[in-house]
């Protein structure tokens, strides 16, 4: 049996099945059209065979044995002079029915077990799953041989029904994951609270959710069943002569391969086409489901070379230039809307810059763009990224790679998945040390220990031996920081480095970063949605909203006296402000959502959610310097600031 359970992992993103009309999405793929088309044609030809077949299936023609195709026998004749076309389509009906029977039996056995296992939880599930595992491990074809030994090979339907019972284990394994996923959905829980019984939950909510997976699996099992059935017939355990079967016809062909090689073609091609059709139909169904899950998939990877200035850039550092200088950077979805527009930043060594904003405003993409690690579907549309005077935007992978690790490095968002779980911490750290420092194995281990001590790990020897999943989140983040520091980079890009960590650990990691900045003079770009993190560590802040910067300047200024209403709203929504700030009586929320890329208004992008918005906010607004040295993108900035300072009670 060549059935794999691998396609089972992802439960479908099923909506509550409310009489939704299902468009046959799979029919838009060539494989789906071919698969469904061939199976339909075959079924039609088989059903009508008695009406059109030119000869009786057993009609022998002993003078015309082993003749190739001719006008009277389109596909030739076999060893007894019987018409091959007639025999193929006489055999096809029972073959298709028997395969369908085994599929039906497989589902009839498996589905009640799946529903029971998903509904009644662990105890039932363990028993049924163990049984399924045992049956799954049995060689099905060989077990069928034992059955044939007992009842003979003549009764194809009985044998294929038995195959269905064995294949039920495959169905069970695949559908169980899906059913369990569906069982944990909120609307199923809601139905249960409403007093809907287990059987009805199974029929109304779980079964429809399994429909697509079932269709995929049915196609695959149908193919496997046809293969096994023909294989057994090929061995001589199919329907008894003179009843035709595809496997039997191929067996005959193998005997006459010297005299008449042609006769292996028709039956073999029809058999192969049928199996291919069923498998391709399954693939198309699975792919259609995949498309449904990821509604908008993007184009294949293409490296961003849009803004590539081809002239050679100065390779050495330009004296006096800032360490990092980003000018007018724009990022876009390839062939889609802009995601980040007109971003300008600059950062000196030993300084920490915070990029802050709600999710979906382009912070992380900006950070990845600095490293040249944008996802394949995103590219930089224009602008420049200069690092020590060298232009990074438009650099190829080959030019960027030597810079990564040595000049720029990344601290990841979730340290628990940023280390390879299959290798020890020691292996991963030592590999980078050996690459960057060109030292031997022993020396690398010694340096790894020193490196871990430097990032505040108490027992480095134990951590070196550990696998990443054996570490706590904070410990893992210290390890990734140690990794990032290995090549002594001059710029660290930290994408939400504390978001995945506990609050107490967050503070420790920020302390560590601050200490490293002081000791090594490394510059840091830190991306966060948390104003507390920004207040804690940053020298400068850039507040991003809907793909561009709305306020930018020294951290003290921006946090103390925000000039943009969005910055103010973010600060008011922050549960833990710096110690000396009074916590407002009630945390504020910002109504509405960040507009999606492509849906940005031409005027102020925040206007729709801004409580100070006026008519004039609908005209485009640029970043403008404010009196206190910050840049603000708000038409009413000055006016609002005056209002705010005027309304504030005077000192004393």
Partner 1 sequence: MTGYLARRAFLALVTVLVAVVLSFLLVHLTPGSPGQLILGAGATKAQVAAKNSQIGWNQPLLTQLGRYLASVARGNLGTSIIDGHSIGGDLLQRLPVTGLTAVLAAAVSAVAGTGLGLFAATRRGAVDRAVDTASGVALSLPAFWTGVLLVYVLSIKAGLLPATGYVTPAQGLSEWLKSITLPVIALAIPATAIVARTARAALIQALREPHIQMLRSLGEAPWRLLLIHALRSASVPVVSVLGVQFVALFSGSVIIENLFGLPGLGQAASNAITSYDFPAVEGVVIVASLVVVLVNLLLDVLVAGLDPRVRAR
Residue 476's contacts (CB-CB under 8 Å, 6 or more residues apart) are 415, 416, 418, 419, 468
Q: Which long-range contacts (CB under 8 A, 24 or more apart) does 120-124 make?
A: 120/198
Residue 146 or 461: the one with the smaller Cβ distance to partner 1 is: 146
Position among 103, 148, 527, 621 found at the interface with partner 1 (CB under 8 A): 148
Residue tagged 């088309």 (tokens): 37
305-364 residues in contact with partner 1 (CB under 8 A) are: none
Residue 397 or 518: the one with the smaller Cβ distance to partner 1 is: 397
Residue 393 or 483: the one with the smaller Cβ distance to partner 1 is: 483
397-436 residues in contact with partner 1 (CB under 8 A) are: 397, 401-406, 408-410, 412-414, 417-423, 431-432, 435
Residues 275, 280, 285, 290, CA torsion sign:
positive
- Rounded least distance, CB 216 to partner 1, Å: 14
- Rounded least distance, CB 419 to partner 1, Å: 6
Report residue 491: phi and psi, to 5°: -140, 125
Residue 348 or 470: the one with the smaller Cβ distance to partner 1 is: 470
Residue tagged 């019972």 (tokens): 165
The span from the CA of 178 to the CA of 12, in Å, is 7
What's the Cα-to-Cα distance from 554 to each of 127, 253, 265, 455, 650, rounded to whole Å? 64, 84, 79, 28, 24
Annotate each residue in 231-270 with x if it binds partner 1 (CB under 8 A) or - if it does not, as one string. xx-xxxx---------x--xx-xx--xx--x--x---x--
Angle between helix 84-120 and helix 264-293 axes, rounded to 10 deg: 30
- Rounded least distance, CB 510 to partner 1, Å: 20
- Rounded least distance, CB 240 to partner 1, Å: 12
Annotate each residue in 113-142 with x if it binds partner 1 (CB under 8 A) or - if it does not, as one string. -----------------x--xxx-xxxxxx
Would you call 637 helix, strand, or coil by DSSP? helix
The span from the CA of 464 to the CA of 483, in Å, is 12
Residue tagged 């770009």 (tokens): 525
Residue tagged 């030809």 (tokens): 45
> Would you state the structure tokens that stand for residue 366, as one six-digit string?
């900006």
Residue 606 in the binding site for partner 1 (CB under 8 A): no
Do 78 and 87 form a contact (C-beta atoms < 8 A)? yes
Annotate each residue in 269-308 with x if it binds partner 1 (CB under 8 A) or - if it does not, as one string. --xx--xx-xxx--x----------------xx-------
The span from the CA of 423 to the CA of 413, in Å, is 20
Q: Which DSSP letter does residue 190 get? A: H
The footprint of partner 1 on this chain (CB under 8 A) covers a number of residues equal to 89
- Rounded least distance, CB 205 to partner 1, Å: 29
Q: Which span (74-82, 222-230, 441-449, 554-562) binds partner 1, by CB under 8 A?
A: 222-230
- Rounded least distance, CB 40 to partner 1, Å: 18
- Rounded least distance, CB 281 to partner 1, Å: 11
> Could you write out the three-class secondary structure of 62-120?
HHHCCCCCCCCCCCCECCCCCEHHHHHHHHHHHHHHHHHHHHHHHHHHHHHHHHHHHHH
- Rounded least distance, CB 431 to partner 1, Å: 8
Residue 143 in the binding site for partner 1 (CB under 8 A): yes
163-202 residues in contact with partner 1 (CB under 8 A) are: none
- Rounded least distance, CB 249 to partner 1, Å: 10
Residue 43 or 373: the one with the smaller Cβ distance to partner 1 is: 373
Residue 79 in the binding site for partner 1 (CB under 8 A): no
C-alpha count within 13 angstroms, C-beta hemisphere, residue 360: 8
Strand order, beta sheet including 523-528: 408-411, 491-495, 523-528, 352-356, 540-545, 548-554, 631-632, 624-625
449-508 residues in contact with partner 1 (CB under 8 A) are: 467-469, 480, 483-484, 486-487, 493
Residue 36 or 182: the one with the smaller Cβ distance to partner 1 is: 36
Residue 232 or 471: the one with the smaller Cβ distance to partner 1 is: 232
- Rounded least distance, CB 531 to partner 1, Å: 25
Residue 10's contacts (CB-CB under 8 Å, 6 or more residues apart) are 293
Residue 373 in the binding site for partner 1 (CB under 8 A): yes
3-42 residues in contact with partner 1 (CB under 8 A) are: 3-6, 31
Cis ω for the linkage preceding 430 (within 30 of 0): no
The DSSP bridge pattern shows strands 408-411 and 338-347 to be unpaired
Residue 18 or 150: the one with the smaller Cβ distance to partner 1 is: 150
- Rounded least distance, CB 584 to partner 1, Å: 37
524-583 residues in contact with partner 1 (CB under 8 A) are: none
Angle between helix 246-255 and helix 211-235 axes, rounded to 10 deg: 40
Position among 24, 50, 149, 598 found at the interface with partner 1 (CB under 8 A): 149
Residue 36 or 617: the one with the smaller Cβ distance to partner 1 is: 36
Do 624 and 552 form a contact (C-beta atoms < 8 A)? no
Do 609 and 564 form a contact (C-beta atoms < 8 A)? no
- Rounded least distance, CB 137 to partner 1, Å: 4
Q: Which span (149-157, 182-190, 347-355, 444-452) binds partner 1, by CB under 8 A?
A: 149-157
The span from the CA of 281 to the CA of 1, in Å, is 18
- Rounded least distance, CB 517 to partner 1, Å: 19
Residue 371 in the binding site for partner 1 (CB under 8 A): yes
């Amino acid at each position: 049996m060549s059935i794999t359970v691998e396609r089972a992992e992802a439960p479908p993103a099923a909506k509550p099945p409310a009489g939704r009309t299902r468009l046959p999405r799979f029919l838009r793929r060539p494989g789906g059209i071919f698969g469904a088309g061939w199976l339909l044609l075959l079924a039609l030809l088989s059903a009508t065979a008695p009406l059109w077949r030119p000869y009786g299936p057993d009609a022998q023609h002993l003078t015309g044995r082993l003749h190739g195709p001719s006008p009277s026998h389109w596909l030739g004749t076999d060893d007894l002079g019987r018409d091959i076309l007639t025999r193929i389509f006489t055999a096809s009906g029972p073959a298709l029915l028997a395969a369908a029977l085994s599929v039906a039996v497989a589902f009839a056995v498996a589905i009640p077990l799946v529903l029971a296992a998903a509904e009644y939880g662990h105890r039932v599930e363990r028993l049924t799953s163990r049984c399924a595992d045992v049956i799954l491990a049995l060689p099905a074809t060989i077990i069928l041989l034992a059955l044939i030994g007992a009842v003979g090979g003549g009764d194809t339907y009985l044998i294929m029904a038995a195959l269905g019972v064995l294949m039920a284990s495959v169905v069970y394994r695949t559908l169980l994951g899906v059913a369990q996923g569906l069982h944990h959905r909120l609307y199923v829980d809601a139905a249960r609270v409403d007093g809907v019984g287990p059987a009805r939950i199974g029929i109304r909510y779980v079964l429809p959710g399994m429909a697509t997976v079932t269709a995929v699996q049915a196609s695959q099992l149908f193919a496997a069943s046809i293969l096994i059935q023909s294989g057994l017939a090929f061995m001589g355990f199919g329907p008894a002569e003179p009843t035709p079967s595809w496997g039997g016809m191929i067996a005959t062909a193998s005997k006459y391969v010297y005299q008449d090689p042609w006769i292996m073609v028709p039956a073999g091609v029809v058999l192969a086409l049928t199996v291919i059709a069923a498998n391709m139909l399954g693939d198309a169904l699975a792919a259609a489901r995949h498309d449904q899950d990821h509604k908008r998939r993007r184009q294949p990877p293409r490296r961003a070379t849009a803004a590539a200035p081809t002239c050679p850039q100065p390779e050495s550092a330009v004296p006096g230039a800032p360490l990092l200088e980003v000018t007018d950077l724009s990022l876009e979805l390839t062939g889609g809307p802009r995601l980040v527009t007109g971003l300008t930043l600059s950062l000196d060594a030993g300084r920490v810059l915070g990029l802050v904003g709600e999710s979906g405003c382009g912070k992380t993409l900006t950070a990845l763009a600095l490293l040249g690690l944008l996802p394949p579907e995103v590219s930089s549309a224009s602008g420049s990224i200069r690092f020590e005077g060298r232009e990074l935007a438009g650099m190829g992978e080959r030019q960027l790679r030597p810079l990564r690790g040595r000049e720029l490095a990344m601290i990841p968002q979730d340290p628990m998945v940023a280390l390879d779980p299959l290798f020890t911490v020691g292996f991963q750290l030592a590999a980078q040390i050996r690459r960057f420092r060109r030292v031997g194995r022993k020396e690398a281990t010694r340096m790894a220990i020193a490196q871990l001590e430097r990032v505040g790990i108490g027992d480095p020897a134990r951590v070196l031996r550990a696998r990443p999943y054996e570490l706590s989140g904070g410990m893992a983040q210290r390890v990734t920081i140690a990794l990032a520091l290995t090549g002594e980079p001059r710029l660290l890009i930290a994408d939400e480095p504390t978001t995945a960590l506990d609050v107490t650990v967050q503070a420790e990691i920020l302390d560590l970063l601050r200490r490293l900045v002081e000791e090594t003079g490394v510059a840091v770009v830190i991306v966060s949605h948390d104003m507390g993190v920004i207040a804690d560590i940053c020298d400068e802040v850039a507040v991003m909203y809907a793909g561009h910067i709305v306020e930018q300047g020294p951290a003290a200024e921006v946090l103390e006296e925000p000039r943009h209403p969005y910055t103010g709203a973010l600060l008011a929504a922050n549960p833990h402000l710096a110690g000396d700030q009074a916590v407002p009586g009630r945390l504020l929320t910002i109504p509405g959502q960040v507009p999606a890329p492509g849906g940005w208004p031409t005027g102020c992008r925040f206007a729709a959610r801004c409580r100070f918005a006026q008519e004039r906010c609908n005209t485009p607004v640029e970043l403008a310097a404010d009196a206190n040295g910050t840049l603000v993108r708000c038409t009413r900035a000055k006016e609002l600031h005056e209002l705010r300072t005027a309304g504030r009670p005077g000192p004393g």
